Amino acid sequence: MKIRQALLSLSNKNHALDFAKGLIAHGVKLLSTGGTAAMLRDAGIEVTEVSDYTGFPEMLDGRVKTLHPKVHGGILARRDVSEHLATIEEHGIPAIDLVCVNLYPFRETIARAGVTLAEAIENIDIGGPAMVRSAAKNYSGVAVVTDPEDYPALLSEMAANDGALSLETRFALARKAFVHTARYDSAIANWLTSLDEGEQPQPFPGHLQLAFDRVETLRYGENPHQQAAFYRDPGPTPGSIANYRQLQGKELSYNNIADADAAWECVKTFDTPACVIIKHANPCGVAVSGNLLTAYEKAFQTDSTSAFGGIIAFNR
């Protein structure tokens, strides 16, 4: 699908100018909202502000910018349904082929010391998630971009395909977009339900939403007939096993992960060279010495039979 018109509405403007210039180079018309449009104009990039495009000004202190049929009609119209195309043509609504949006910085706002409920509320994005979800729902005809890290790859694909993005790429972007909005809403729900009667956040929200990313599918679960996968928090604790990667060997099992975690959590508590051997969550040997080889030999001698097939961890 060739990209002819794009809408950019960005809170995080990193690399936005390069992306916009790349789109312009492919003949893409740009629409944008206030701050983003001003940045593009200042850089000499031709852009139409959304308020001029819709004929309605931004209002209510910026709360209403893109919530308009000319925006969402252009995004949501199915390109494979003639009635949809006839309807937007009747109402003078051009199709919007690419939506590039990132959302108000809610997480960054609530991370500030002393942030008030009113400040947090004003950093809950409404129009942004609506456009992201609209574009993601209609991925068959629209590309939705939520991550600046994707800009170079998308421009490269467009350069190789006469300004077009494949259905496979659009579907991948849509899945990423739904994850993005889901986690954004989860952060809002977690914070708001953590507030006490004095509007102060407490450690434990009334309703906790969690999010994890699959690292790999494991060979099997706790038992061979069970399935399992290893998931990681998007912000894993420093020093935890979730930060590490497998260098070689076959796929791990649930027990491999559990034992590796137990072995690492134990061995990292020692300051001197140490070795820990774990099998099925039980320590088969723990030893310290002046060097790792001797530490291993001591640990192995503790229970050399049970150590077979176990996990060995060192702190050096």
Cα separation of 40 and 111, whole Å?
A: 29
Please say whether the dihedral angle defined by the alpha carbons of residues 243, 249, 250 and 253, taken in this order, is positive or negative.
Answer: negative
Tell me if 277 sits within 8 A of 297, measured CB to CB.
Answer: no
275: closest CA among 301, 308, 299? Answer: 299
Burial class (CB in 10 A: 0-12, 13-18, 19+), 259: buried
* CA distance readout (Å), 140 to 5, 166, 169: 15, 9, 10
Active site residue: 84, 137, 176, 298, which one?
137
Q: Select from 270, 279, 271, 272 the least CA-distant residue to 312.
A: 279
Catalytic residue among 29, 176, 268, 280: 280
Which two structure tokens, joined as six digits, stand for 48?
């139409």
- Catalytic annotation present for 137: yes
Q: How many CA atoms lie within 13 A of 35 on its CB side?
A: 11
Which residues does the annotation mark as catalytic?
137, 280
